Amino acid sequence: MTLLAVERIKLRSTRSAWCCAALAVALTLTFAAMFAAGSATTAPVTVTSTQFGSGVGLLIVMVMATLAVTTEYRYGTIRATFVAAPRRTQVLLAKAAVVALISAVLGELCSFGSVAAAKLAVPTADLAIDTPFEWRAVAGTGLVFALAGTFAVAIGALVRHSAGAIALLIGYTQGAEQLVQFIPKAGPAIHHWLPFNVGNKFLTGDADPITANAHDGLPPSDATLGPWPALIYFAGFTALALGAALVTTAKRDA
């Protein structure tokens, strides 16, 4: 519990964490309001369409999670942390737990806040969250943010350099997973099993019949797993990344 409290204080006292958190929520809600206002004249605003900007929020939260690790290596404070708590794996686990919790809270603020922002922009829109799919698409965002934040912590611990870790995350999530589809023959099959594509299936899979053709929210995933198995798969991939970070952190010099 002491390590958890220490990591919470560290993150709370870091300016970059506050800036990233504020930026993630602000941009996500702004995108939701703008998209709702812009599309209201041509198509009905739906609960899923309000989540249009959550991908941007997720990316910023992952940057925050990465900086929570790499900033300590940059300024050398990680050495003092490891002297005070020699069991390095416990330190990293505590940091991952704190970041996951904060990421989950930010995910819920982004998702439910987007619904509220769209409602303010288009007061006549019917944005009641009624169906299991709508609840999963909105409330489930916190789970995906938590796992993605944990994955970003692992990458930060493995790379230990802010620019390199952030570039790797952005390059993979925004580029590599999409470009894989262009590999002849095997590309689409590989893309079905890439972690962030699968994680997105939890939020976009098994859409309600009345909104199944509405591709105005998050881009639908083409993963073959169902929504809940997809979340478990994404969690497993995150656990593998964190496991690799734990082993590396325990063996390398600070």
pLDDT above 70 coverage of the chain, percent: 94
Instruction: Give dist(CA 25, CA 75) in Å, integer.
Output: 28
Report the pLDDT value the prediction gives residue 213, as an integer from 0 to 100: 44
pLDDT, tens digit (0-9, with 9 covering 90-100), for 66-105: 999 999 988 888 888 888 877 888 999 999 999 999 999 9
Encoding tokens for residue 53?
Answer: 């900007």
For residue 202, report the phi and psi dihedrals to the nearest 5 degrees. Answer: -60, -35
More confident residue, 107 or 207: 107
Q: HEC states along the chain?
A: CHHHHHHHHHHHCCHHHHHHHHHHHHHHHHHHHHHHHHHCCCCCCCCHHHHHHHHHHHHHHHHHHHHHHHHHHHHCHHHHHHHHCCCHHHHHHHHHHHHHHHHHHHHHHHHHHHHHHHHHHCCCCCCCCCCHHHHHHHHCHHHHHHHHHHHHHHHHHHHCCHHHHHHHHHHHHHHHHHHHHHCCCCHHHHHCCCHHHHHHHHHHCCCCHHHCCCCCCCCCCCCCCCHHHHHHHHHHHHHHHHHHHHHHHHHCCC
CA 121 to each of CA 50, 54, 94, 106, 117: distance values in angstroms, whole numbers, following the listed order: 11, 17, 40, 21, 6
CA 226 to each of CA 11, 187, 202, 236: distance values in angstroms, whole numbers, following the listed order: 35, 21, 7, 15
Q: What is the dihedral of CA 88, 19, 175, 98, to 10 degrees?
A: 30
Q: What global pTM score does this model have?
A: 0.92
Tell me the mean pLDDT in the region 221-233.
Answer: 91
- Which residue is it, tokens 């206002």? 37
Encoding tokens for residue 24?
Answer: 């993630």
Task: For the chain, give the mean pLDDT.
Answer: 88
Report the pLDDT value the prediction gives residue 217, as an integer from 0 to 100: 66
Tell me the mean pLDDT in the region 15-42.
Answer: 88
More confident residue, 1 or 103: 103
Tell me the mean pLDDT in the region 141-150.
Answer: 96
Domain ranges of the chain: 2-251
pLDDT, tens digit (0-9, with 9 covering 90-100), for 173-202: 988 888 888 888 888 899 899 999 999 999
Report the pLDDT value the prediction gives residue 153, as an integer from 0 to 100: 96
- Which residue is it, tokens 């369409």? 49
Report the pLDDT value the prediction gives residue 215, as an integer from 0 to 100: 44
pLDDT above 90 coverage of the chain, percent: 51
CB atoms within 10 A of CB 46: 22
pLDDT, tens digit (0-9, with 9 covering 90-100), for 91-143: 999 999 999 999 999 999 999 999 999 999 888 888 888 888 889 999 999 99
